Structure 1
């Protein structure tokens, strides 16, 4: 295990960290707090009680401090975080520029009144590649959910369509995808001839960080190998019978690319759940948002109201019913998550006072001496 290295001066330290993605967002508060950059490192990979970190010169394993072990999941280090370390112990997570998160697995469709907990996936990203294979993996409705998830986290999405060699009309699929995601870049790639690599490298300039998300078997690991120029991620064939991929990536790890950027592979996401309401839905469905501005009523639900521009677009063939149905479905999930979150806060307060009342009763029942 390599321990942290010391730099000769502040400029040398900052330069080394900037190659890892350190920028003005982190540097200004660090300067104001007179932070010792010799203690700063970035998390390359996060396991339950082990973190692989780097300061730009060396990599070494760290464990969480005793205090950190008892913190909420949101405050626990994830891949991409900047942290303060003492030798081989992570003491603190620096404030994040952004966080890619989702509703905790199994929370989608819950009806027990509990608020879905947010599950951080990665932090401090410049771009998120939504990877979808042009085989049986291609699913417009799932792409819409990924877009809403990424936009809800305030991040920049890029849709990457892999395995173009397996499709007869990849350009037609790209055109369809561009219609699903107005304004979002769509890149066609193939690991057989390396097509699309140049476009993606444009998002992976020195100091930039991108993460890949998508289903198992979408081709994320193969894409990582293509961008790196060598096989570092294990790949597996997709089942011919059911078209489903296997989880060849089991952890999130930042990979340094030859051009200076950093790429994060992610295990396949089986369930795309939302933990809270946000602007992601409007961003992912900008066409519906723009149509809604022409509705007769400001609070139009786009279901049965007269003068609804959204329903008129469906009738005229300008908007598919399936897209509108998916929008409504995600809106219900986000509304439920938001209501559950607010309800949960009230419940926590009530339960806290209930525990106090029980403690008082126990004290009163004790025999007096």
Structure 2
């Protein structure tokens, strides 16, 4: 039987670490893995013993709390099977470190969980006719509202004649977010954004259809793993080529990226606990505020605002927090 140290070593490139997961889990659940793909109620799960196929239990299929069901990026414990080609029932979903969510479509105020256990979000936008500042800002806010940092990747640089102008237009909404113009004809332009990842760190790519998320991931993987389609030439409208979410391990275990289907709009789901955690450095002085009902926006004497203005890093965080409050109040 593989010992715990070997299991940790085998699962580390997939993001399993002692900081978030107790080694006792490996005793309680001998077969642990990370969901790399979901096709309805069927899952691909990467374990120390290789890729396994898994399914929901009968109880999970009828669970009304959809937010607790397994999603791509989740760590899960699988039940053992007697046959190699048999589906492994998912016993339990291990506690999530983070989750990317959005507000579900429709009138009801419901959360739709998308992918789990992320370290950052790559927001991808084209520099062609897809370029839309308001949409980009909402995608950035989706990351912030889930307690995650964002990195902005601007694709299709070769189709843009005024990159500097567009970068200047973006400056007011970035609020400390790193931004990188990326040219798929020059793979070296991916080196800088890739530096935000390392072994075990996981990012999700989000953005509209046709912005080049799958093309970018193929470039990083060195293969045509993800299917791609051309956008319509007359209006740059993308087609939904990626129809599922899939976690991919980068070559030489340099990190993990989850590709996601294009989103027509960024519906923000405000995760209060995650927001409080991300902006804890600012909010730790909240009790010193002069006002018990202070929103920490422009109120004179606000201790959070005063703390934020002392250095650039906290100023950027305050600007992010402030924008989230404004967007929340507008919903």
TM-score range (shorter-chain normalised) is: 0.7 to 0.9
Query: Corresponding residue for 1:55?
Result: 47
Distance 1:36 1:171, change over 3 A: farther
Structure 2 residue ranges without an equivalent (≥5):
82-87, 280-292, 300-322
The question of whether the paired residues in 2 share the 8 Å contact of 1:204 and 1:259 is answered with no
Bigger mean CA deviation after superposition, 229-238 or 88-97: 229-238
Identify which of 260, 267, 276 aligns with 1:266: 260
| 1:22 lines up with 2:19 in the alignment | no
1:17 counterpart SS class: helix
| 1:91 lines up with 2:91 in the alignment | yes
* TM-score normalised to structure 2 length: 0.79
CA distance in 2, matches of 1:188, 1:94: 37
The question of whether the paired residues in 2 share the 8 Å contact of 1:252 and 1:267 is answered with yes
Q: Deviations over 1:140-170 (max 9, x none)?
A: 1011111111100001110000111111132
The question of whether the paired residues in 2 share the 8 Å contact of 1:135 and 1:166 is answered with yes
Q: Deviations over 1:341-367 (max 9, x none)?
A: xxxxxxxxxxxxxxxxxxxxxxxxxxx
| 1:101 lines up with 2:101 in the alignment | yes
The question of whether the paired residues in 2 share the 8 Å contact of 1:13 and 1:37 is answered with no
CA distance in 1, matches of 2:141, 2:233: 30
Structure 1 residue ranges without an equivalent (≥5):
1-6, 285-297, 306-325, 335-369
CA distance in 2, matches of 1:207, 1:327: 29
* TM-score normalised to structure 1 length: 0.71
The question of whether the paired residues in 1 share the 8 Å contact of 2:130 and 2:236 is answered with yes
Aligned length: 295
How far the C-alpha of 1:47 sits from its partner, in A, is 2.4
Distance 1:259 1:175, change over 3 A: farther
| 1:200 lines up with 2:231 in the alignment | no
CA distance in 1, matches of 2:48, 2:31: 12
CA radius of gyration, larger in: 1
- Two-structure CA RMSD over aligned residues (Å): 3.4
CA distance in 2, matches of 1:125, 1:262: 9
| 1:133 lines up with 2:157 in the alignment | no
CA distance in 2, matches of 1:246, 1:217: 6
Query: Corresponding residue for 2:225?
Result: 232
Q: Deviations over 1:209-257 (max 9, x none)?
A: 1110000011101110111122111111111222210001000001111
The question of whether the paired residues in 1 share the 8 Å contact of 2:144 and 2:275 is answered with yes
Query: Corresponding residue for 2:305?
Result: none
How far the C-alpha of 1:127 sits from its partner, in A, is 1.4
CA distance in 1, matches of 2:66, 2:221: 32
